[in-house]
Amino acid sequence: MRMSLTRSKRRTAPTDAIDTTESTTRAAAGSRPRRPLRGAALLLAAALAGSLALAACGDDDSSDEPAAATATTFPAGSTMAKLQAAGTITVGTKFDQPLFGLKNLRGEPEGFDVEIAKIITDALGIPADKVKFVETVSANREPFIEQHRVDLVVATYTINDKRKQVVDFAGPYYVAGQTLMVRAGETAITGKDTLAGKKVCSVSGSTPAERIRTEAPDAELTLFDVYSKCAEALKAGQVDAVTTDNAILLGLMNSDPGAFKLVGEPFSTEPYGIGLAKGDDQFRAFINDTLTAAYTDGRYEAAYKDTIGKVEPDMPTPPVVDRYTS
Amino acid sequence: MDAVLDNLDIFREGFIQTLRLSLFAAVAALILGTALAAMRVSPVPPLRWAGTAYVETVRNTPLTIVFFFVVFVLPQVDIVFSYFTFAVMALTIYHTALVCEAVRSGVNGVDAGQAEAARALGLTFSQTLRLVVLPQAFRNVVQPLGSVGSALIRNTSIAAAFGVQELTGISQRLTTANPGDVIAVLLAGIVCYLVLTLSLAWAVGLTERRLTRTPR
């Protein structure tokens, strides 16, 4: 891990412009990042020189670009223009997060994260079948972005300052929060203040497990290694509540319709953002613009209704995107 | 290192849980395993078949699956205990099969003439087993039983994934809380396991020396 990180850091400057097809094949083969080929490096240099020349001419409209499928044109040399020209994009998402990013039986990922990613790739003029989804688990999201194995990460990715040191975030597009899930017939538990003496389940060593110790010190904590076991224990009456991010709880509810419900106000804030390469402010602004537009023109609502809305019909107000300056 | 020193009380809690799990399961598995071995060498075919079926089924099932069955299937038929009790049950079910095979190998190691002589004296099967064969068998299998016990101690870590906060569980918890001290926390966990397994190895060695010194 450390090795590859340092290696990728050394290559930060040149990889900035590695064409996406290379990162796509690399991700597809699942191989470790190789040293850039000399040919690729030459191509890069040429591309960089070309884009510099264009920029120097002040030719921002790039009217001499080959006509893309859509009418939208992007500033020459920008990530958007490169992706549009390549006609393909690699997006990292989770494959095991029901309702957000889950690989279905046909082998295609589906969920809210996937829909959000499609809104963005669609705005880039890339057809849906040219969007390549690769699995990013929590631990490899930053390395994958840094190594340019993915162009975007939409994977229940909480924006925080530590991560902002190595990657940039567009969004947030959804705000999750730690909350409680109980059996559908439960009336005694209405929030974290009604947990005294109750058995609460979470995952051993997780952040929500530690938070509930301070939020509800009088609750009895039962810990498993995965949340699905908590749901099973809740159903069997072995525990009285399950606690973690509502995003995960909604996924558990979806896999067992009618058995559970969420109670109480969320007691943490997890703004989910879209991860991209550090310093690509142009691309970040584009994604933020796309999200903001999608909030009002119904695309966001449609994405919500098709996924999370099936379990939690009340759509929350879309969060205001954070156009921070790094 | 501070993460360990500041949380010694939490470590002690986990250590005690692991020790309790090991002790309860070891005693239960030793008793049941010996009974099962007796079944497998008994002259009654149905008992032998039942014993063989149990051993072959349980011994060839991953312990995690045994845990899963106990913790999540039993409640569905309204058998509900605490997660600690469930963990002891799962560990016992699994290690009973291993103890049985160790004891049975000891029985097979006892000269056939011993059993024949006992029968010639008019002892019943259970008397033969209890007074003549098993005492000699146990002397043969002190080390194998020690290995089963050592495996049992290490296998208690699976309980961490099934609702019991023992050494592995609290190590996971402390590594999350102290991301800067992960190595120290894990090393401390390993040391705790070593204390348990090496103490057992020492006790086994001592027992074996004592038994072999006894004149035949």
Which residues on chain B are in Cβ contact (under 8 Å) with A229?
71-72, 161-162
In this model, does residue B163 exceed pLDDT 60? yes
Among chain A residues, CA nearest to B81: A238
For position B175, what pLDDT does the model report? Answer: 83
Q: Which of A207, A209, A224 lies nearest to residue B163, judging by beta carbons?
A: A224
Q: What distance in Å separates residue A35's CA from the closest CA in chain B?
A: 31
Q: Is the pLDDT of residue B204 over 60?
A: yes
Work out the end-to-end distance of chain B between its first and last CA atoms, rounded to an integer number of angstroms.
Answer: 53
Asked if B82 has any chain A CB less than 8 Å from its own CB, the reply is: no
Is the pLDDT assigned to residue A211 strictly greater than 80? yes
- Any bridge partners for residue A152, and if so which? A91
Residue A230 carries which side chain, given as an amino acid letter? C
Which pLDDT band, with edges at 50, 70 and 90, does A48 fall under?
low
pLDDT above 70 for A22: no
pLDDT score for B173: 85
pLDDT, chain A, mean = 83
Question: Is residue A302's pLDDT more than 60?
Answer: yes
Q: How confident is the model at residue A325 (pLDDT cuts 50, 70, 90)?
A: confident
Instruction: Give A313's pLDDT tier (boundaries 50, 70, 90).
Output: confident
- pLDDT confidence of A139, banded at 50, 70, 90? confident
> B117 pLDDT exceeds 60?
yes
Is pLDDT above 70 for B141? Answer: yes
A-chain CB neighbours of B75 within 8 Å are 236-238
pLDDT of residue A67: 43
Residues near A293 by Cβ (< 8 Å), separated by ≥ 6? A299
Q: What is the pLDDT of residue A297?
A: 95
- Nearest CA to A256 among A238, A224, A231? A231
Residue A210 touches chain B, beta carbons under 8 Å = yes
Return the pLDDT at A47. 55
Average pLDDT in the A192-214 region?
A: 91
Please, are residues A136 and A153 in contact by the beta-carbon 8 Å criterion? yes
User: Is A301's pLDDT higher than 60?
Assistant: yes
Contact list, B176 vs chain A (CB under 8 Å): 205-207, 209-210
Number of cross-chain residue pairs from A and B with Cβ atoms under 8 Å apart: 48
CA atoms of B77 and A159, how far apart (whole Å): 44
Q: Which residues of chain B does A226 touch, with a Cβ-Cβ cutoff of 8 Å? A: 161
Do residue B165 and residue A237 have CB atoms under 8 angstroms apart?
Answer: no
Look at residue A153 and give its three-state secondary structure. Answer: strand
> Between β-strands A270-277 and A167-176, what pairing exists: parallel, antiparallel or unpaired?
antiparallel
The pLDDT, as a whole number, for residue A45 is 55
